[in-house]
A and B are shown apart, each in its own frame.
Chain A
Amino acid sequence: MARVLLLLAALLREVRRESEGFLAFGRNHFGAFALLLLVLMPPAGAGLQGLILLLLLPALGRDPLHLLPRDRLLLLPLDETQRFLFRILARLLNPLLWATLVLAWFLRWNPLWLLPWLLLVPPLLEALAQRIRQRKPRQRSFLCPGRFGPFYLQGLKGFLQSLDPYLGFLLSAWAVGTRIWGSDLIRGMEMGVSLLIVLSLGTQAQCLLGVDSAGERLRLRLLPLRGWQWLLARDAAWLTLLVPLVAPHDWRVGLGAGITALMVGHGASLCPAPPRQRGHFLQGPSLGLGVLQTILMAAAGLAVHQYGGWLFLPILALWGVSLLWCGVRLERAS
């Protein structure tokens, strides 16, 4: 046990130095969204509320174990029981786990009942993801046609590796279901639902290059690819995810807000952001940019709703300017 404690103490020191735990909450729109949902949600949304609390909130924080290389852990003189114990206890070092417990207490759930769940679900999900990842790739690949087809597809795959689009899917499906089964809860709230979906994918729009690891970005800089082409391929992949999600609701508001989110996202994507972790929510470069993006995106969505589709013209023009400008900045970054 002494060895496990020693290792936990070292990991705690690393977690403290990284100081990313609570920041993660502010750097993803989902943090604010989850808080809003948990505090203000009407009783009809209790199911979604519970799902978010149990499954998604711990996933927002980075797993403390990522700070310890897997190989190093295997090389340390620990037996299997000690290693298992360490893996479980290391999760207690995730600050967001404690935040979830506080919220559970606030919602009058029993934290003692939640704790084992919060400790066991992430490793189980991780083991499942590991199993999926270890599947042998097929000996043929689906390829999009055209010069940028494979590049677009690579971006799409990258976006699907973080949890953000799945939250959007959950919201969209929940709103469709509620409408079909006749609840009055969201009738006439299509615009709001569309904005929420854009919000849930908004952090990804701030990390358009976050899909690529440092090594991948290095390779892309070596290719005959203009900065604006790089951003455009990522925009197209992001919109591919967004459009089917907002289509059953107010698609015009969703698209207007989405293009505005991308407009802010181009600049934000050039700022250094925390590296992505598979199966977690992405984190944007800063809270300020997230707030700015949310305000502009909501304003654009409301304006399109109020004044009609012609507003797409100025929105598209501004998006084009941002694409070209940030593309040049991307090429000149060393």
Chain B
Amino acid sequence: MIQCVDLHFAFGSKPILRGMDLHVQRGELAVLLGRNGAGKSTTLRLLGGLLRPCSGVIRVAGSDPFGAGTHLRRRVGLLPDGLGLFEELTLEEQLTLVGRLHGLRPEECDTRISELVELLGLKEARWGKARTASHGTRKKAALAMTLLPDPDVLFLDEPFEGVDPSGVRRIENLFQTLIARGRTILFSAHDLALVTRLKPRILLFDADGNLVERPLEGFHWQDFEGAEPALEIPAWLGSSSF
């Protein structure tokens, strides 16, 4: 379902991905882990067709996502790191806009919106503008926009970040149901306790920037850095008297 072969990508002269290979099967739940700046968001944006790779091959549902046209946009859902919300529109308005552009009939669109709002606990935010919503609500709103057309493949950039525990629980249940229904999900995360609960396939950007697969058992946060980080806290911090 998702395939990358010898993928290279750089922002200007700064290389981000160097010959990355990635294969994810249909119906699989996989997580991208790695330190900040390792290339998780860039990988998801490349897979979502927002960036053009410098070299290498990407196939999502059999097509190159960059410039694949509108047919792939219906099959692939991306929750980008920037969320992509219409700041001046209410949640209802943004979901309607997205649903209609995806070609949903007005009644079908309304039903799906009501169900998603209920599912993600967004009832109170439904008639509020995105600009005024809290971080967690914005994240859930962006997730609702991604889920609305019921895509086949989901690329989610830190879907749990900033979400309250009840919301996290709802999204976890949603993941399990979607996987059981044959959807493919690749997401990025930093919360290892949550990753352990979900039991996904672990894909880790190691200290050298290579994407490697790790077994869930015995996985430790030190795997991110490769070595014990220095924990020397400056003496002045926490010493001022008021």
Task: Mark A residues whose CB is within 8 Å of B.
Answer: 136-139, 141, 143, 145-151, 154, 157-158, 161, 212-216, 218-226, 331-332, 334
Contact = CB atoms under 8 A, between A and B. Distances in A.
Given A150-B97, A225-B101, A137 B84 contact: no
B129 interface: yes
B51 A216 contact: no
Contacts of B88: 157-158, 161
B89 A154 contact: yes
A141 B78 contact: no
Main secondary structure of the interface of B (DSSP, over half): loop
Given A218-B80, A222-B48, A224-B74, A147 B85 contact: no
A215 B85 CA distance: 6
Contacts of B48: 222
A216 B84 contact: yes
A227 to B, nearest CB: 10
Contacts of A136: 127
B129 A137 contact: yes
A320 to B, nearest CB: 20
Contacts of A212: 86
Main secondary structure of the interface of A (DSSP, over half): loop
Interface string B54-77: 000000000000110111011001
A222 B94 CA distance: 14
B137 interface: no
A154 B92 CA distance: 13
A138 to B, nearest CB: 8
Contact of B101 (A138, A148, A213, A332): A148
A145 B83 CA distance: 26
A221 B101 CA distance: 12
Contacts of A222: 48, 50, 73, 77-78, 80, 84
Interface of B: 48, 50-52, 66-67, 69-71, 73-74, 77-78, 80, 82-90, 92-93, 96-98, 100-103, 106, 127-129, 145
Contacts of B103: 147, 224
Given A137-B129, A151-B97, A334 B92 contact: no
Contact of A218 (B50, B90, B127): B50
Given A137-B127, A141-B92, A226-B70, A148 B85 contact: no
The winner among A137, A143, A161 for most chain B CB atoms within 10 A is A137
B188 to A, nearest CB: 17
B54 to A, nearest CB: 11
A146 B80 CA distance: 27
A216 B145 CA distance: 12
Contact of A224 (B67, B84, B101): B101
Given A149-B100, A222-B78, A224-B101, A332 B93 contact: no
6 contacts: A136-B127, A138-B127, A147-B103, A149-B100, A225-B70, A225-B73
Given A147-B101, A148-B100, 15 more contacts: A137-B90, A138-B127, A146-B100, A154-B97, A161-B88, A212-B86, A215-B87, A216-B84, A218-B50, A218-B80, A219-B98, A224-B70, A224-B101, A226-B70, A334-B52
A136 B128 CA distance: 7
A246 B89 CA distance: 29
A223 B87 contact: no
A213 B82 CA distance: 11
B236 to A, nearest CB: 19
The 5 closest A-B pairs by CB, nearest first: A219-B84, A224-B70, A224-B73, A218-B84, A150-B97
A158 to B, nearest CB: 8
B86 A219 contact: yes
A216 B85 contact: yes
Contacts of B101: 147-148, 150-151, 223-225
A331 B50 contact: no
A16 B73 CA distance: 42
A214 B129 contact: no
B85 A137 contact: no
A139 B127 contact: yes
A219 B73 contact: no
Contact of B83 (A150, A215, A220): A215
A157 B145 CA distance: 21
A158 B87 CA distance: 11
A154 B86 contact: yes
Given A225-B101, A334-B52, A143 B96 contact: yes
B209 to A, nearest CB: 21
A334 B86 contact: no
A233 to B, nearest CB: 10
B82 A215 contact: yes
B32 to A, nearest CB: 19
Contacts of A331: 67
A222 B65 CA distance: 11
Contacts of B80: 218, 222
